[in-house]
Structure formats: C-alpha cells, structure tokens
Structure 1
Amino acid sequence: MTALDLTRAQWRTSTRSVGNGNCVEVAAADGRVAVRDSKDRGGPVLAFGRPAWHAFLAGLAGVRAD
C-alpha cells in the first residue's frame, strides 16, 4: 500500500457540524477519501476507497439522529 499524499488536500467538515470541535474532516486525495479528527489535524488519517465511502454514506442515510 502506498502512502496517501495529503499535501494538497482540501479538508472540509460537515455542514451539519455545530462547531463544538467534536467533528471529523474529509478530503479527496489520490482517488480515496481521507478522514481525520478536527481536533488533531496532524494526527492519524483513515483512508477509504470511494466505493467503501459511498456505501458508508448510504448506510448513514437510513440512520435517524434524534
């Protein structure tokens, strides 16, 4: 597995984020989707293939947030 190049990544948070610092950020990079903790921007990053990311989002669409 090759290292993910994040030097040009444009990170973004969800539009549903309430700005309390308990968020994740996502960025597209090298054909994958990278995810990091917004409180630790220099910390570890998880990377997912696009099909896995889309399946994750599809699963979230059916979840209720009360």
Structure 2
Amino acid sequence: MKIKYDQEADVLIIILKDEPPQDAIEEPGGIIVSYTQDGKPVSVEFLNASLHGIVNKDEIDVFLQTLKSAAL
C-alpha cells in the first residue's frame, strides 16, 4: 500500500495494489475509487482533501496501524 499527497492539487491518494485501474467510480464528496477489471479496488482518491478536513496542509503526519480482526 502506498499513500501519496499532492499539496499543489490537494489530492490524497491511497494506492492499494500496483495494478492498472480499468474502471473508476466517483462518490459524493469528491472521492474516486478505481477498480481492476474483475472489480477489486486499486486506489482511493480524495479530491480537495484539506477542504474536507482529511489533510492539514501545514502538518502532515501518517500513522499506520495494523488491526487484528476479532475472532468470529
């Protein structure tokens, strides 16, 4: 997984797989989800990330935590 932020464009991109996207769906609020040909998610883009409060341009911290799934 890769996380990229383009400060000039104000776009946060989370790349889930290194596969070329074949399709994309724009969700409300400026969120674009890209998919492989077989419907698996490849990336999620957040447009105008700082305006939506997702990113603070003055202070960018990334925290990655692995969550353990609960036993069912």
Q: TM-score range by the shorter chain?
A: 0.3 to 0.5
From the two aligned structures, give the one with the greater strand fraction: 2
Normalised TM-score (structure 1): 0.33
Which fold has the larger relative contact order, with Cα–Cα distance below 8 Å and residues 6 or more apart in sequence? Answer: 2
Comparing both structures, which one devotes a greater share of its residues to helix? 1
**Bigger Rg, structure 1 or 2:** 2
